[in-house]
Chains A and B, each alone.
Chain A
Amino acid sequence: MPAEVLARQGVRFVNQDKKVFADLTVKDNMELAAYACGEPVERAVERLVSLYPKFAGFLDKKAGNLSGGQREILLIGRALVGEPRLLLIDEPTEGLAAIVIEDIFRILSDMKHKISSIIVEQNLPIVSRLADRVLIMKDGAIAREVADPAEIIDTSMLESWL
């Protein structure tokens, strides 16, 4: 199914490459997402700022100049426009500094009660704090489900599986 049709049905992706529309401003990035859903730009921008208040200061900054973590947050913000039903996020914390990871963790845990998400993540402490259900994948297939998310902190158990 083409990506745009899937998106219109309420399924959004956030890829792991953290690729924003680099030539456009932060606000423009949100405008495109809002335009796609027929939502007012102001509302989309407002929600982005509520997600991450620092954005209020550089809405007119080129998205290409943002840091990796800010890009990831912008991408999540973009994907949230238009009330999607399912969010797929690939490696949200990959390659990011520890402080930003904490910001992203906070955003993702705030979202938890509003929208269903499937997140692929290798940062196990984050996974254990965030996830309701944890599935371990190996070679492209689901290897097993972990009953208690806290349990995956125990790496020795994982080693026996992977």
Chain B
Amino acid sequence: MFDTILYGLTIGAILYLFSIGLSITFGTMHIINFAHGMIYAIGVYLFISLLPVLWGSFPLALVAAVVAMLPLAYLVERFVIRRLYGDGIDYAIIATYAILLIGTDVIKLVWGSGPKPVSDPIGIPIEVFGTVVQTYRVVVFISAVAVFVGLRIFFTRHVIGKIVIAALKDRDGVRSLGLDVNKFFSIVFVIGSALAVMGGVLYAPITVAEPYMGFHVLLLAFAVVIVGGMGNLTGTFISAMALGQVIALTGRFYPAGADTMVFVVMTLVLLKDPIMEFARRLAGRHAYR
């Protein structure tokens, strides 16, 4: 059982790292950013190509892949996301979806359509609470917790983090102080993209890299962000960890339904209010509105 829970924590960690950027972009720009999946997938493929060049060092290739993706993330923010700010949710969804499609095809063009495995960089199992588990998974979970703590400090202590927190609710207030809000949103967008690449690379040894990996993680991350509350960073962490457990536990008893269970949970969370209201109506008490 413990290995199932640890697996859930690992999946939750990956989902968290990926979802932060989505959540921030929704909170700041009110945009659902499908292009986040493109950054994630291309980052992983870049990592795979960089790994042999950098003497097979996993951490080095991870850092290099993250750094290499920063300019691309900036370009997406500057020329697509920012241009669509305030244009209504649909155009942004369609445009960022288009970028994801293009990115997927670029992967197929450069790296081919077949799946690419990445080997576990640690490989040595350890014993925790009497169960033998992969050390790597423990490391992944600890990294996610470290990122969570780091982001909390950034958003409560660093002035740039505070500016973003202020601008989430009062964009005009920040502008009236003479601060260019877009600049700060760009910074957190790029941070979010870097974390997505980190999540993707950390996930690669657990699964395989394939061109549509960006689509798959996006679907799960939408569930994370919606359950956790869009733009709510602590909520995103809790929700990612909880949904990681949903995946792991469902997977243990009914493997075919593991991912789908996440959507069932998400749908229930989203429809909480209408369902409650329906229940009230059934109970004959509809004097609330």
Contact = CB atoms under 8 A, between A and B. Distances in A.
Q: A and B touching (C-beta < 8 Å)?
A: yes
Interface of A: 2-4, 7-8, 12-13, 15, 19-24, 28-29, 31-33, 35-37, 78-79, 81-82
B176 A23 contact: no
B276 interface: no
A7 B169 contact: no
Interface of B: 159, 162-163, 165-166, 168-170, 172-181
Given A2-B175, A32-B177, A36-B178, A21 B159 contact: no
Contact of B169 (A3, A22, A37): A22
Contacts of B181: 4
Contacts of A12: 176
Q: Chain B interface mostly helix, strand, loop or mixed? A: helix
A37 B179 CA distance: 9
A4 B178 contact: yes
A106 B39 CA distance: 55
Contact of A35 (B159, B172, B175, B176): B159
B63 to A, nearest CB: 29
Contact of A3 (B159, B166, B168, B175): B175
29 contacts: A2-B175, A3-B172, A3-B175, A3-B176, A7-B177, A8-B178, A12-B176, A15-B172, A19-B170, A19-B173, A20-B170, A21-B165, A21-B169, A21-B173, A22-B169, A22-B170, A23-B165, A23-B166, A24-B162, A28-B162, A29-B166, A31-B162, A32-B159, A32-B166, A33-B177, A35-B159, A35-B163, A36-B177, A37-B178
Contacts of A8: 178
Contacts of B179: 4, 32, 35-36
A63 to B, nearest CB: 10
B174 A32 contact: yes
Given A4-B176, A35-B159, 20 more contacts: A3-B172, A3-B176, A4-B180, A7-B175, A7-B176, A19-B170, A20-B170, A20-B173, A21-B166, A21-B170, A22-B170, A23-B165, A23-B166, A24-B165, A24-B166, A29-B166, A32-B166, A32-B174, A37-B178, A79-B176
A32 B170 CA distance: 13
A4 B162 contact: no
A36 B174 CA distance: 9
Nearest to B178: A7
B48 to A, nearest CB: 40
A28 B167 CA distance: 13
A137 to B, nearest CB: 22
B16 to A, nearest CB: 21
A23 B177 contact: no
Contacts of A28: 162, 166
A21 B179 CA distance: 14
Leading 3 A-B pairs by shortest Cβ distance: A7-B178, A21-B166, A3-B175
Contacts of B176: 3-4, 7, 12-13, 15, 79
Contacts of B166: 21, 23-24, 28-29, 32
B86 to A, nearest CB: 14
A8 B174 CA distance: 12
